[in-house]
């Protein structure tokens, strides 16, 4: 008798409506059919604020992902344009699922499914285009840009990690629990001198360190096994000795021939402090790349209330959109840049750092947080060749050939 009562009490409830009456007026009252179309025609600045894309960029993106977002149904399906705009708004503003459900006149489960599906499509369609592994020619171009922008020869980019703070996953124990006492996954990334990501590894547990994530990532595996198509050794400007190309990171990463990090500890000799300063200047690229990402996609301004799998999809989509917009915008005159306009990123004039505007938009409580803690990896186990190469770079930075005019004054302020 009790078993029969249990089954009856747990029968699926009969739905009150197949579609809520207010949602049947989606075409007349929904955001996409009204507000978005009005901004598109009459206020392109607000359209950019709403989606983080210009109208032209949106049309280009929709052309790429639209076919994969097209649905068939005996009822009139939600259009690819509406699905894409809804997802962009979620990323750009961090609007909650219930809020978007009201604005777009859809069910909450429908909104949630659309966002997850669209994030997946954006990653699958865009990452082979905007996040493909560089070949030798492209690595050489990156090295040339790095030297031109930051006076660091043979540098292929900066690496770092960031926590994506999220709600505590069920039955996960301490896997996602990090040193900041929050739950997170880690975004490990490499970027070039133009703040474009060249490699990302998403989804590492929050309890892992930067160095550990590097070892686990396919990037770390390829780096250690010379599988990254890195160019052949080349001489620094005005020198004859050929030396390896390398990436730069902070003290959380190990010292290797192809990965340079600062000297550890305090009260270092002047020459080593200058080396640390110059490496720190170059690492500003990855800091600004993360800053742009967080400033433009405000979903990262709060704790992300999603399961880890869907947090991964969200981050993947945001990274691809960042590169897609940046690559399109870089082909335009600087005066037409909206995503990264003038003064949006840090600038340095005669050693004086002028903070970028993104810093005013990203708070300390942003869910995109520094991944490495105060525990630093030692360099005592580094190969002698790596240590000798760092010494060579240090000497170059301190020479009249490789120095910058304001470096001595700059280290006095550090």
Residue 263, φ and ψ in degrees, nearest 5: -70, 140
Give the pLDDT band (50/70/90) at residue 76: confident
Q: What is the DSSP string of 186-211?
A: EEEEEE-TTS-EEEEEEEEETTS-HH
Give the pLDDT band (50/70/90) at residue 74: low
Contact criterion met (CB below 8 Å) for 277 and 414? yes
Element (DSSP H or E) covering residue 272: helix 270-296
Give the pLDDT band (50/70/90) at residue 161: very high
pLDDT digits (tens, 9 = 90+) for 354-369: 999 999 998 776 777 7
Give the pLDDT band (50/70/90) at residue 374: very low
Q: Which two tokens stand for residue 144?
A: 């040339």
Per-residue confidence (pLDDT) for residue 148, from 0 to 100:
94
Nearest Cα to 278, choosing from 154, 386, 150?
150
End-to-end CA distance of the chain, in Å?
77
Per-residue pLDDT at 375 exceeds 80: no
Per-residue confidence (pLDDT) for residue 5, from 0 to 100:
45
User: What is the CA angle 40-46-49, rounded to 5?
Assistant: 115
Give the pLDDT band (50/70/90) at residue 118: very high
Element (DSSP H or E) covering residue 45: helix 44-51
Per-residue confidence (pLDDT) for residue 352, from 0 to 100:
85
Q: Which two tokens stand for residue 281?
A: 């200047």
For the chain, the maximum distance between any two Cα atoms, rounded to a whole number of angstroms, is 92
Contact criterion met (CB below 8 Å) for 338 and 48? yes
Per-residue confidence (pLDDT) for residue 12, from 0 to 100:
52
pLDDT digits (tens, 9 = 90+) for 237-266: 999 989 999 999 999 999 999 999 999 988
Alpha-carbon distances of 24 from 18, 28, 30, 33, 369, rounded to whole Å: 10, 9, 10, 13, 41
Q: Over the chain, what is the mean pLDDT?
A: 89
Nearest Cα to 250, choosing from 241, 263, 234, 231?
263
Alpha-carbon distances of 379 from 6, 245, 321, 376, rounded to whole Å: 64, 19, 37, 9
30 vs 301: which has the higher pLDDT: 301
Per-residue confidence (pLDDT) for residue 178, from 0 to 100:
86
Per-residue pLDDT at 184 exceeds 90: yes
Nearest Cα to 277, choosing from 331, 348, 329?
348
CA dihedral 98, 103, 104, 107 (to 10 degrees): 30
Residue 380 three-state SS: coil
Nearest Cα to 403, choosing from 205, 199, 212, 236?
236
Residue 160, φ and ψ in degrees, nearest 5: -170, 175
Residue that has been written with the tokens 């981050």 in this structure: 315
Per-residue pLDDT at 304 exceeds 80: yes
Neighbouring-strand partners of residue 168? none
- pTM for this entry: 0.91
Q: What is the DSSP letter of 156?
A: E
Those residues whose C-beta lies under 8 Å from the C-beta of residue 362, and which sit 6 or more positions away, are 291, 294, 295, 301, 368
pLDDT digits (tens, 9 = 90+) for 86-102: 999 999 999 999 999 99
Q: What is the mean pLDDT of residues 300-326?
A: 95
Residue that has been written with the tokens 């992300």 in this structure: 304
Per-residue confidence (pLDDT) for residue 7, from 0 to 100:
46
Computed over its alpha carbons, how large is the radius of gyration of the chain?
A: 24
Per-residue confidence (pLDDT) for residue 113, from 0 to 100:
96
Per-residue pLDDT at 191 exceeds 90: yes
């Amino acid at each position: 008798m009790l078993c029969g009562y249990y089954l009856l009490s747990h029968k699926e409830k009969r739905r009150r409506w197949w579609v809520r009456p207010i949602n049947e007026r989606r075409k007349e009252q929904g955001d996409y059919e009204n507000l978005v179309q009005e901004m598109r025609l009459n206020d392109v600045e607000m359209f950019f604020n709403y989606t983080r894309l210009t109208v032209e960029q949106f049309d280009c993106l929709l052309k790429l992902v639209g076919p994969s977002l097209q649905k068939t149904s005996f009822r009139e399906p939600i259009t690819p344009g509406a699905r894409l705009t809804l997802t962009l708004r979620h990323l750009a503003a961090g609007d909650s699922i219930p809020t978007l459900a009201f604005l777009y006149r859809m069910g909450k489960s429908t909104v949630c499914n659309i966002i997850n599906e669209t994030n997946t499509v954006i990653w699958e369609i865009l990452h082979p285009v905007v996040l493909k592994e560089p070949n030798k020619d492209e690595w050489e171009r990156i090295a040339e840009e790095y030297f031109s922008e930051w006076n660091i020869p043979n540098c292929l980019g900066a690496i770092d990690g960031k926590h994506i703070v999220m709600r505590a996953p069920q039955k996960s124990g301490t896997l996602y629990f990090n040193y900041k006492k929050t739950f997170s996954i880690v975004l490990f990334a490499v970027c070039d001198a133009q703040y474009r990501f060249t490699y990302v590894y998403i989804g590492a547990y929050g309890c892992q360190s930067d160095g550990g994530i590097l070892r686990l990532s396919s990037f770390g595996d390829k780096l250690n096994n010379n599988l990254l198509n890195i160019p052949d050794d080349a001489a620094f400007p005005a020198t004859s000795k050929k030396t390896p190309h390398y990436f730069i990171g902070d003290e959380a990463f190990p010292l290797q021939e192809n990965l340079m990090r600062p000297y550890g500890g305090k009260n270092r000799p002047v020459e080593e402090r200058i080396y640390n300063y110059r490496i720190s200047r170059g690492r500003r690229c990855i800091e600004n790349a993360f800053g742009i990402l967080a400033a433009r996609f405000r979903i990262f301004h709060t704790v992300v209330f999603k399961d880890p799998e869907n947090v991964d999809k969200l981050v993947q989509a945001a990274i691809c959109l960042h590169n897609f917009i940046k690559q399109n915008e870089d082909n335009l005159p600087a005066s037409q840049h909206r995503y990264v306009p003038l003064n949006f990123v840090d600038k340095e004039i005669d050693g004086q750092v002028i903070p970028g505007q993104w810093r005013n938009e990203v708070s300390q409580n942003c869910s995109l947080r520094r991944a490495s803690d105060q525990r630093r990896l030692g360099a005592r186990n580094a190969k002698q060749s790596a240590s000798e190469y760092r010494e060579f770079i240090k000497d170059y930075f301190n020479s009249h050939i490789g120095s910058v005019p304001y470096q001595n004054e700059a280290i006095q302020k550090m």
